[in-house]
Structures are given as C-alpha cells and as structure tokens.
C-alpha cells in the first residue's frame, strides 16, 4: 500500500532484474512520473550490496551526509571557518533534512546537486583560483544530475540563482564574467574524451 518507498524500491529492483536501465517499470507498466537517476542509484546499491531495504536507502543517506559537507565547504569558502561550521551543523540538525530523507524521494540529492552547481558557478565567476576546467566539470555534472533527478527544476533553479547573483553584483552584462564562463565551457568541450564521443556519435 506504500506509494513512495515500496514503489521506488521496486522500480529499481525491476531495473536490476530486467537489465533495462532506460525505462522505469512497475508491474510491467512504464512508470514515467519521475526522472531515472534515483532508480539508478538504488539499483547500483542493490547490485553491490544485495536487495535490502537499507541498500535502497543508503544512496539517499550518503547524499544527505555529502550535502552537509558541501554546505560546510561552501560556507567556509564564502565566509570563513566558523560560518562554514555553523552552516554544516545547522543543516545536519535540521528537522527538514531528517523528515525528507525518511522516505525515498530525491529532494535531498537534488538539493546537493543545486548547491554544488551554485558553488561551482561562483567559483567560475571568481576566476582567480585554480584553473576553471575542474569547476566547469562540477557545474556540468551537477546540472546533468539535477536534470536526471527532477527534470528541468535541476537546471532552471541554479541557472536562475546564478543569473540573479550576476545581476545584483552587476556582472550580468560584464564581458569578463561571460568570457570566464564561456572559456571554461569551451575548455570542457575541448576535452579529448568529449571530442572523441562527439566524433563517434
């Protein structure tokens, strides 16, 4: 009778059993209500650890821990060690994070992807630390993960936040800011692995 945990866990189990990792199915019927990444995480966990209820929940639990760590690092980068520690502790002890990770929904993982995407965007705009290629990869991976977790929300939310930040800080029409972002994207696309996959396609 459970329409959240049991349904999500069974769809991931069906993916693993059938070998069809493209179309989510429940009782033989295509279940296209959610993006597939949450099922992929659970199916990989099943394959490694066996089919158990805790194996279905483990990816979400790890994502929640990683979210607290990324929030701590983000806060430390922006405002110092003490602020980062407060951010990490506040999130780790928040009732919302506890409640939204007790059921198998991708919201905590989506929050992780959006947070990391916004941090990568800011690091690219900073443009004076390490080479931007690494942060371009992080930004692209987070936007792609968000898209596979919840659809366009995973791309639109961080993009709107980044553009709003650029508008408030008067960087929206700055040629330098767009040059940094576009150069980092160009360097990412110039990666031999990506170029080879484009040629083979």
The answer to whether the CB of 2 falls within 8 A of the CB of 10 is: no
3-state secondary structure of 104: coil
Q: Check residue 181 and give its pLDDT.
A: 60
3-state class (DSSP) for residue 65: helix
Residue 191, helix vs strand vs coil = coil
pTM of the model: 0.83
Tens-place pLDDT, residues 143-194: 999 999 998 999 999 989 988 988 888 877 776 666 666 655 555 455 444 4
**23 contacts: CB under 8 Å, gap ≥ 6:** 30, 32
């Amino acid at each position: 009778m459970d329409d959240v945990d049991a349904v999500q866990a069974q769809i991931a189990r069906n993916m693993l059993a059938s070998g069809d990792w493209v179309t989510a199915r429940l009782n033989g019927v295509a279940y296209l209500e959610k993006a597939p990444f949450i099922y992929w995480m659970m199916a990989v966990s099943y394959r490694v650890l066996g089919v158990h209820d805790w194996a279905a929940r483990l990816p979400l639990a790890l994502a929640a821990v990683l979210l607290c760590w990324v929030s701590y690092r983000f806060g430390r980068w922006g405002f110092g060690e003490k602020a980062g520690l407060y951010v990490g502790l506040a999130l780790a002890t928040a009732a919302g994070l506890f409640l939204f990770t007790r059921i198998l929904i991708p919201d905590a993982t989506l929050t992780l992807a959006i947070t990391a995407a916004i941090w990568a965007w800011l690091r690219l705009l900073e443009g004076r630390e390490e080479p931007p290629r690494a942060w371009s990869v992080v930004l692209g991976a987070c936007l792609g993960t968000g898209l596979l977790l919840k659809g366009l929300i995973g791309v639109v939310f961080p993009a709107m936040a980044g553009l709003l930040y650029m508008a408030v800080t008067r960087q929206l029409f700055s040629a330098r800011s767009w040059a940094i972002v576009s150069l980092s994207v160009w360097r990412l696309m110039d990666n031999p692995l990506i170029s080879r996959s484009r040629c083979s396609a």
